[in-house]
Amino acid sequence: MTKTILHTDNLSTGYTSKAGKTVIADNLNLTLTEGKLIALIGANGIGKSTLLRTITGIQKPLEGDVFLNGKKVTDYEPMELAQNLSIVLTEKLPPSNLTVFELVAFGRQPYTNWIGTLSAEDIRKVHEAMELTQITHLSGKKHYEISDGQLQNVLVARALAQDTNLIILDEPTTHLDLVHKVALFKLLKKLTHETKKCILFSTHDVDLAIQLSDEMIVMTPEKVVQNEPCNLISDGTFNTIFKDEHIFFDAEKGKFIIR
């Protein structure tokens, strides 16, 4: 039986303000298991980011709980959480002189001493992560000298070096062309299968996600469903994502068509 890494228990996400609670999604019962590549899709503003923020413990759930490796996400100490969960964000890196190696090595921060000295074990893990993502040849380059596609691989390598069994990526394919999108998805797929990690990523490339992910979490205004792509196609879930009469999902071709 495959191990559950993260599951949500009647989770509701949203914001609390003085005016009251704003529920964005409720009654979520999601399960993320090891060795799976899981895509999170939905229209803009549907609450993907809020869900990711809640799962990663940045934001408190309105109701229900998120359990990561058997413990509530909100109960983790920052350092302990960093050893169980790593993330790749969409935001641009601030300007600096960091080399690719140094960037990947930051993934080891939760394990290093007070001044951040890398042990032999740390260096081995960094090299391993760079080999898995095929960026070893870039090791000495500055992070601003490489292409967007290579940088995305570097950031994935950094998350790998953090040695967590769950990696969450927020729209990792945004700035990439088709070739690099496919390459990144394939890399993520390879990583889940080779390292038995679970990788959850949000994306707008629904047709690519259908072809390459093991499971999908689809957020629609009515409900949130988690299932395998083929089942989601056959039960017509994709047609409920966009409230637009001009866009419909062609189940045979497995992609969206514009009328």
Q: Which of 56, 133 has the CB closer to other proteins? A: 56
Residues 103, 155: Cα–Cα separation, whole Å: 8
What lies within 8 Å, CB to CB, of 58 at 6+ separation is: none
- Cβ proximity to other proteins: between 63 and 102 the closer is 102
- If binding is defined by CB under 8 A, does position 247 make contact with other proteins? no
What minimum distance in Å lies between the beta carbon of 221 and other proteins?
A: 28
Sequence-ordered strand ranges (E) for 121-234? 166-170, 198-202, 215-219, 224-227
Does residue 23 bind other proteins (CB under 8 A)?
A: no
Which residue of 32, 103, 206, 209 would you call a contact of other proteins, by CB under 8 A?
103
Return the residue of 22, 72, 75, 79 that touches other proteins, per CB under 8 A: 79
Question: Which stretch, 34-42, 100-108, 216-224, 225-233, contacts other proteins (CB under 8 A)?
Answer: 100-108
- Considering only residues 151 through 170, tell me which ones interact with other proteins, judged by CB under 8 A: 162
DSSP letters, 91-136, are SPPPS---BHHHHHHGGGGGGS-TT-PPPHHHHHHHHHHHHHTT-G
Question: What's the Cα-to-Cα distance from 2 to each of 69, 197, 200, rounded to whole Å?
Answer: 13, 11, 16
3-class secondary structure, 81: helix
Q: Which is nearer to other proteins, 62 or 103 (CB)?
A: 103
What are the angstrom distances between the C-alpha of 189 and each of 63, 71, 90, 194? 32, 26, 19, 9
Backbone angles phi, psi at 111, to 5 degrees: -110, -15
* Cβ atoms < 10 Å from Cβ of 97: 8
- CB of residue 89 vs other proteins: minimum separation in angstroms? 6
CB 41 within 8 A of CB 216: yes
252 is an interface residue for other proteins by CB under 8 A: no
List of residues 6+ apart from 256 with CB closer than 8 A = 206, 207, 238, 242, 247, 248, 249, 250
177 touching other proteins, by CB under 8 A: no
78, 222, 245, 246: which one binds other proteins (CB under 8 A): 78
Q: Is residue 241 within the footprint of other proteins (CB under 8 A)?
A: no
- Told to check if 115 binds other proteins by CB under 8 A, we report yes
Which of 3, 116, 186, 251 touches other proteins by CB under 8 A? 116
Task: Give yes or no for residue 87 binding other proteins (CB under 8 A).
Answer: yes
Give me the residues that bind other proteins (CB under 8 A), please. Answer: 56, 58, 78-83, 85-87, 89, 91, 93-94, 96-98, 102-103, 106-107, 109-110, 112, 114-116, 162
